[in-house]
Chain A
Amino acid sequence: MDANVKRNIILDNYQNPSNKGLPDSNDKSYTKVNSRNESCIDNIDVAAKINNEKLEDIKFDGEACAICTSCTSVMTKQFKGKTLEEAKEIVTNFENMINEQPYNPEILGEFNIYDEIYKQPSRKKCALLPIEAIKKIIQNDNNRS
């Protein structure tokens, strides 16, 4: 993908993120987790509603850099409507892409804009932060059922 195209998608998701704003804190149908980096200032909350092994809705809020914010926005779109199994598959492939391991770009959709982030080691953790959050949510759900 052309660098300019990638940049524009990142910028668009950064400046006009999708699914930003958490559900009402009284709404118990969502599982909420906080995810932050030890070494930098990215700090996001992700909330997901899981029904019948399916990610029915995902929202987020927080303050983070362009990579982290845009990647969280992309994540909410990519994962919405996916089954937990499908989500796990995407998570694994996304992590492999960031960590320069073999992966399948076909299932990563818009996430492919981060395929060169590995060149900036300090940015890798920014892209992985939302993924950490969704992993925690899936894990919580596993523990419950």
Chain B
Amino acid sequence: MNTEDFDILKTGIDYLDNAATTMKPKSVIKAVTDYYKEYTSNIHRGDYNNSIRADKEYETTREKIREFINAQSKEEIIYTNGTTNGLNIVVFGFMQHYLKPGDEVIIDQAEHASNSLPWIVLSKKIGFKLVFAPLDKDYKLTVESIKNCITPNTKVISIAHITNTIGDTRDINNIGKLCKENNILFVVDAAQSIAHTKIDVQEDNINFLAFSGHKMYGPTGTGILYGKKFLLEKIQPIEYGGDMNTEFSSTGDYSLKELPTRLEAGTRNIAGVIGLGAAIDYINSIGLEKIHNYEISLHQYLLEQMKQIPNIKIYNPSTQGTIVLFNVDKYFSQDVAIYLNQLNICIRAGNHCAKMLHEVIQDNSTCRISLSFYNTKEDIDKVVEALRNQDKILDTLV
């Protein structure tokens, strides 16, 4: 649905790599170009109209995001350049000063590099224990599995709401409750869920939440770190510079601004943030629930079709969501992706930055189709037809 809002989809591509990044609707592109064409200026430091306008748009996005995830206050919304940036601020700005040797942090093997490598690096440095909650037989992460890993030493649980490979939706509401009951900090990587399903940071007891603008129809280089105010206040910035300080002198004295500016050093991605505001408006104009329901039914259709194609191994056949992870027998994932590319079909092949997952699924590399609401049944019919003609993969070799 709403395919007409995306000029790029008129170029004939069958775009099925939405977990990597999403297309941008006209309204987002317009918001960004309007800023560049009509009122380019810096924020927080101008006394002239264009700067005042940029300032206003920039801060309006913050309020839109606050409302979108139901944070308590605007100060809890920090602009970042993406999920990776947000999670690294959590790990190296907060956890580095919070965790002690002997503490335990729970993650799992399906996590993206950005929610695993920072933890691995910090755990080596500090000596806390990184615990991997086992995935079930369908490679999903259940509340039970996490519950079984909790000990009196558990300080943090850090998981993806939805992973970018198996694509299962974790029950963050009940995991959040567990965290609250056991005095555990709950960190959620919402990169894959923010554009597809509702998140309520208060209802779900989330302490830190990170996501990227580019996976929610917004510009690249934008992202959000949400944190409960009392926690964000304890973060030691990993970047110092302009805008975030109140004063400093050659004697070495300095003081920093209040939240959120304290954590936003230097000139920010103003155009991107304004575009992100337009992306939120766009999602709201359709309605997240409507998007969610449509995507679930489209995914169901895709899965049913794919299950009927011979010689295809699907790794997540029981998962509801937007992702189908698969391999075509005898063919390396990348050969399949290159074949589909010749038909103008965009999918992803590889390990999808989740390099620990192969320890569980036993295959290093897979093909991934990931959907968005602007995909249609015709898009799916096209890729299904192409995969039925898998003998043609050979033709692309020479």
- A63: which B residues are within 8 A, CB to CB? 332, 364-365
A98 within 8 A of B: no
A-contact 0/1 string along B305-339, CB 8 Å cutoff: 00000000000000000000000001111110010
User: What is the interface residue range for chain A against chain B?
Assistant: 20 to 34
A108 within 8 A of B: no
* Given A7-B398, A10-B398: A69 and B350 interface contact (C-beta under 8 Å): no
B349 within 8 A of A: yes
- B351: which A residues are within 8 A, CB to CB? 41
The answer to whether A113 touches B398, judged by C-beta atoms less than 8 angstroms apart, is yes
B-contact 0/1 string along A67-103, CB 8 Å cutoff: 1010000000000000000000000000000000000
C-alpha spacing A42/B364, complex, angstroms: 11
The answer to whether B395 touches A7, judged by C-beta atoms less than 8 angstroms apart, is yes
The answer to whether A65 touches B398, judged by C-beta atoms less than 8 angstroms apart, is no
A64 within 8 A of B: yes
B-contact 0/1 string along A26-52, CB 8 Å cutoff: 000000000000001110000000000
The answer to whether B334 touches A41, judged by C-beta atoms less than 8 angstroms apart, is yes
C-alpha spacing A67/B396, complex, angstroms: 10
User: What is the interface residue range for chain B against chain A?
Assistant: 10 to 19
C-alpha spacing A63/B364, complex, angstroms: 8
- A42: which B residues are within 8 A, CB to CB? 334
Tell me the minimal C-beta distance from B352 to chain A in angstroms: 10
The answer to whether A67 touches B333, judged by C-beta atoms less than 8 angstroms apart, is no
Residue in B closest to A66 when the chains form the complex, CB atoms: B335
C-alpha spacing A10/B398, complex, angstroms: 9
Residue in B closest to A114 when the chains form the complex, CB atoms: B398
Tell me the minimal C-beta distance from A142 to chain B in angstroms: 33
* Given A41-B350, A41-B351: A66 and B365 interface contact (C-beta under 8 Å): no
- A41: which B residues are within 8 A, CB to CB? 333-334, 349-351, 364-365
- Chain A residues within 8 Å of B, Cβ to Cβ: 3, 6-7, 10-11, 15, 40-42, 63-67, 69, 113, 116-117, 120, 122-123
